[in-house]
Amino acid sequence: MDHAATTFMKPEVLAAMAPYFSEHFGNPSSLYRFAGEPRNGVEAARGQVAAAIGAGPEEIFFTAGGTEADNWAIKGVALANRARGNHIVTSAIEHHAVLHTCEWLEKQGFSVTYLPVDGFGRVDPEAVEAAITDRTILVSVMMANNEIGTVQPVAEIGRVAHDHGVLFHTDAVQAIGAVPIDVDAMNIDLLSLSGHKFYGPKGTGALYIRRGTRVETLIHGGGQERRRRAGTENVPGIVGLGRAIELATADIAGHNRRIAAMRDRLIRGILDAIPDSRLNGHPVERLANNANFSFRYVEGESILLLLDARGICASTGSACSSGSLEPSHVLLAIGLPHEEAHGSLRLTLGDANTEDDVDYILEVLPEVIGRLREISPLTPPSPRVPEAE
């Protein structure tokens, strides 16, 4: 129940990759014929990624994952357009791959506006417009939040950016396979994605760069990726990424119907069975697989440990899972007090989950929360019932 963290690799993806580990192992940059098959595999995958988001193949550049793609998009635009401006607009609930990149740029003399979100985790396009100045060169707002699942109005945000002549980047790592994407219709200039979030291999990703967009190269060396990203291509990984995104986007509506039905039953069951619980994120505009809860009087780490003992893998936004003493920045940004943010639980479904899994969660989770509340010093005492005379 933690598919937002990673997914298994589908058999079709592994089968597509297999020949490139041994049979077609040549370097695609070599000139001899033995390099032809690996080169064709890379270019076929480029076309598959492009088709999935409505882009051209020449606008797709392969990376080692979503984090690199986010870094490249934001640093690349900032460094290439510094003469025109030094201001970036983003949101307070971005993935740390975006937030930490923006923090690094601030140390290099850039100015960053971190927009607040509403109680559901949505960015207001009007707030984006109000934040743009004549020095703004980039707006970066994620398509769907990795913790609470809220889907952002990216088309409107992109339109606002373009109305002011500003580039728009979106981190779509959690959205591929869950949200239909058309980079032209959604006014997107740069888009980051990561293969292991949609049943592809880890260590693979891509950055879409709209044709004509000025972006500085970050990794220098050979002439790979049309001289934009040096390093010998991870041919099996790229081939797997292409096959995975093709499968993930083949029937998004049908996939979402099946997953969302389980998610909605899970949400209703938990909120009905566990008092002092709340659903975090937008009730409607959210990823089909995401259910994020806060439970009063308990700690998220304790919930995870007891669930793990019962064979359930989940996630929390509080301290131990992140190596931080602070609870999730996302939950704090939507207005949760520290004590409630510490008691968070993220359940994210995937293609291997069944209705039986939902039943098991609804059986086990109320027991776990009840047990923790019994021993928690934060739990208020039960009202005393007077003895009958």
- Rounded Cα distance between 288 and 136, Å, is 34
Which one of the listed residues 155, 218, 320, 362 is annotated catalytic? 320
Cβ atoms of residues 182 and 195 within 8 Å: no
Write down the H helix ranges in the chain. 11-17, 36-53, 66-80, 96-107, 125-131, 154-163, 224-227, 235-248, 252-273, 300-309, 319-322, 329-333, 338-341, 355-375
Instruction: Indicate the SS3 state at residue 18.
Output: helix
Asked about 313 being catalytic, the answer comes back as: no
**Ligand-binding site membership of 66 (annotated):** yes
Residues 6+ apart with CB under 8 A from 106: 112
Residues 6+ apart with CB under 8 A from 347: 1, 2, 266, 290, 291, 292, 293, 314, 361
**Ligand-binding site membership of 196 (annotated):** yes
Instruction: Indicate the SS3 state at residue 212.
Output: coil
Task: Tell me which DSSP letter residue 369 carries.
Answer: H
Residues 6+ apart with CB under 8 A from 312: 1, 360, 361, 364
**Ligand-binding site membership of 242 (annotated):** no
Point out the annotated binding site: 66-67, 146, 174, 194-196, 232, 320
Point out the annotated binding site for pyridoxal 5'-phosphate: 66-67, 146, 174, 194-196, 232
Point out the annotated binding site for [2Fe-2S] cluster: 320
Catalytic residue ranges: 320
